[in-house]
Amino acid sequence: MINMLFTFFDQQLDRADFGNHLDSVPQALRERIGKFRRWQDAHCSLFGKLLLIEGLKKYGISRGILNEIQYTKYNRPFLTGEIDFNISHSGKAVVCVITQNGDIGVDIEEINPIKLEYFTRQFTERELAIIRNAKDNDREFYRWWTRKEAIIKADGMGLSLPLKKIRFDGSGQAEINNRTWQMREIALPHEKYCCHLAFDGKADTPMSIEQYYIGAKLTSQKLNQ
């Protein structure tokens, strides 16, 4: 099972509400969140941790485990044991995925105009041709970009893993460094964002998707996927 939790926000939380939510995460994480200068960045960081806490509850794990978060040399956060998680944010969207079925990565990107010539080193000629010939070049770019980013986040090596060498077989799988990843595009209820998931395991692994609304309290709604 894969659990995905996400939220969108369009305004700054009331200071008291933000403080109440901030108090629900461990001190070390509060300090990291407090270093952000832009309120948008602080909200994204905090909301990602709140989604992680909610997701861990589904596995019977309390928020106290967040004190045990460690970081790889590539700065990927992880927990020891069977649980793997990954968080991504862009613009005013935050998504968190959690599983007990191996490594997982997620990437969400806000679709904005891009200059493709700045990214030619990250794509093969075939991929560049597909992007250039697409009806919506920017959206197609982000569809490919989020695929690649989800893989390098699942793998844990970050940008030290060359994006151009990721091979997509056209059947929903990708391969790099002798590892095969299942790919899944996630249709979220906001057309300005593109999101992909990468995970190892079976292609038909079941998935639960839940949208959270974060105000004075947290409420949620499950989506069909």
- What CATH number does residue 111 fall under? 3.90.470.20
Read off the pLDDT of residues 56-112 as tens digits, 9 standing for 90 and up.
999 999 888 888 888 888 888 888 888 999 999 999 999 999 999 899 999 999 999
Q: Answer for the pair 146, 108: CB distance below 8 angstroms, yes or no.
A: yes
Task: State which amino acid sits at residue 39.
Answer: W
CA distances from 180 to 151, 168, 220 (A): 10, 10, 33
Does 170 score more than 80 pLDDT?
Answer: no
Work out how many domains the chain is built from and give that number: 1
Share of the chain above pLDDT 70, in %: 98
Q: Answer for the pair 195, 95: CB distance below 8 angstroms, yes or no.
A: yes
Mean pLDDT of the region 22-51: 94
Task: State which amino acid sits at residue 122.
Answer: Q
Q: What predicted TM-score, i.e. pTM, was given to this entire model?
A: 0.93
Read off the pLDDT of residues 174-216 as tens digits, 9 standing for 90 and up.
998 888 999 999 999 888 999 999 999 899 999 999 999 999 9
* Domain enclosing residue 119, as ranges: 2-223
The tokens for 102 are 């191996």
Residues 40-77, buried b or exposed e (16+ Cβ, 10 A)? eebbbbbbbbbbbbbbbeeeebebebbeebeeeeeebe
Does 160 score more than 70 pLDDT?
Answer: no
User: Which pLDDT belongs to residue 84?
Assistant: 95
Share of the chain above pLDDT 90, in %: 73
Nearest to 65 by CA among 47, 86, 49: 49
How buried is 87 (Cβ within 10 angstroms: 0-12 exposed, 13-18 middle, 19+ buried)? buried
Higher pLDDT, 10 or 156: 10
What's the number of CA atoms in the CB half-sphere (13 Å) around residue 59?
21
